[in-house]
Amino acid sequence: MLITKLDVTKLEKAINSFEFTYELAWKAMKDYLEYMGINGILEVNGHLEKLLKLS
């Protein structure tokens, strides 16, 4: 299947939207956990499932 430049542009926009939303959600969860007294979580890698259970 031939992928056109328009398809690539749409895909790039979708990926950028996902990355923005993911980062925003991570920062909001981190701020909430710090507010609740849970500190020391510096990155989401390996912690996302645990964070979702806590929130």
Question: Which of the two residues, 2 and 23, has the higher pLDDT score?
Answer: 23
Q: Are 17 and 23 in contact (CB under 8 A)?
A: no
Cα–Cα distance for residue pair 47/34, rounded to 1 Å: 14
In the chain, where are the structural domains located?
21-55
Percent of the chain topping pLDDT 70: 78
pLDDT band at 48 (very low <50, low <70, confident <90, very high): low
